[in-house]
């Protein structure tokens, strides 16, 4: 991994991208950005609201715009939205411009970690979250795999353990 290259975290809702990203950035002394937070900050409205007004398509367009802007800045840690890998354009952008870490997780964990979530439109509209999460993960798994340089399983692991695993991977990349 080139030393000035950004690190991007991908993975389904609840896989820990934001908490891992924030801590990783702190440990590596890099800036941290979260694509969802950037969209909310710039529009001044929630993701739910964007889905309501512009549909998923509108949200995806905003997501691509933010991603291309963020990837121009070197040396950052970027947490992405779970669906970022749906579009080939985004997968190509990520592969070309970042070292991509896929945070995978068991369905059980994803369900638990998203249980209290109130700002994830794809889950809120579902009457069976487990089934919805399973379906989303199955559909997207090949895209996560295709885009990632490395996969880290976060199931049942404490934050510091995940960070240590990532640090090990990054150190090996430097060799
Ligand atoms: C989505 C995941 C969310 C957010 C939006 C759509 C998805 O981000 O971008 O609700 O399609 O999986 P998180 O993965 O951070 O929850």
- Tens of pLDDT along 83-129? 999 999 999 999 999 999 999 999 999 999 998 888 899 998 888 99
- Is residue 158 a part of any domain in this protein? yes
User: Is the predicted pLDDT of residue 174 greater than 80, yes or no?
Assistant: no
Report whether residue 36 contacts ligand 1, using a CB cutoff of 6 Å: yes
* Residue reference for tokens 């549909």: 55
CATH number at residue 63: 3.40.50.300
11 CA to middle of ligand 1, Å?
Answer: 9
**CA–CA separation, 86 and 55 (whole Å):** 15
What ligand 1 atom has the least distance to the C-alpha of 12?
14
Q: Is residue 37 part of a domain?
A: yes
Distance of CA 13 from the midpoint of ligand 1 (Å)? 6
**Which of 120, 140, 141 has most ligand 1 atoms within 8 Å of CB, for mutation?**
120
pLDDT, tens digit (0-9, with 9 covering 90-100), for 22-59: 999 999 999 999 999 999 999 999 999 999 999 999 99
Instruction: Tell whether 71 is covered by a domain.
Output: yes
38 lines ligand 1 (CB under 6 A): no
Record the tokens describing residue 94, joined without a space.
């990520």
- Is residue 1 a part of any domain in this protein? no
Q: Mean pLDDT over all residues of the chain?
A: 95
By alpha-carbon position, which residue is closest to atom 2 of ligand 1? 82
122 in contact with ligand 1, CB cutoff 6 A: yes
Tokens of residue 61, six digits: 């367009």
Predicted pLDDT at 25: 98
**136 domain residue, yes or no:** yes
Q: pLDDT (tens digit, 9 = 90+) per residue, 134-165?
A: 999 999 999 999 999 999 999 999 999 999 99
Is residue 173 domain-resident?
Answer: no
CA–CA distance, 165 with 28 (Å, rounded to integer): 13
Question: Which of 10, 49, 14, 9 minimizes the C-alpha distance to 132?
Answer: 14
Residue 175 placed within a domain: no
Q: How many domains does the chain contain in total?
A: 1
Residue 79 φ/ψ, nearest 5 degrees: -95, 135
Quick one: residue 2, left, alpha or beta (phi over 0 = left, psi -120 to 50 = alpha)? Answer: beta
In a domain, 174, yes or no: no
Domain enclosing residue 106, as ranges = 6-168
pLDDT > 80? residue 2: no
- Cβ of 60 less than 6 Å from ligand 1: no
Whether pTM exceeds 0.85: yes
């Amino acid at each position: 991994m080139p030393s000035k290259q950004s690190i991007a975290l991908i993975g389904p809702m609840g896989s820990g991208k934001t908490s891992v990203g924030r801590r990783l950035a702190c440990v590596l002394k890099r800036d941290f950005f979260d694509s969802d937070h950037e969209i909310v900050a710039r529009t001044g409205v929630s993701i739910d609201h964007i889905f309501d007004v512009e549909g998923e398509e509108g949200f995806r367009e905003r997501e691509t715009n933010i991603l291309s802007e963020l990837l121009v800045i070197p040396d950052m840690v970027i947490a992405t939205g779970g669906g970022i890998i749906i579009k080939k354009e985004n997968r190509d952008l990520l592969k070309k411009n970042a070292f991509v870490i896929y945070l995978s997780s068991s369905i059980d964990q994803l369900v638990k970690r998203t249980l209290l979530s109130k700002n994830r439109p794809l889950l809120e509209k579902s009457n069976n979250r487990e089934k919805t999460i399973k379906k989303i993960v199955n559909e997207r798994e090949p895209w996560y795999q295709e885009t990632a340089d490395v996969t880290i399983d976060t199931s049942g692991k404490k934050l510091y353990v995940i960070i240590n695993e990532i640090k090990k991977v990054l150190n090996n990349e430097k060799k």
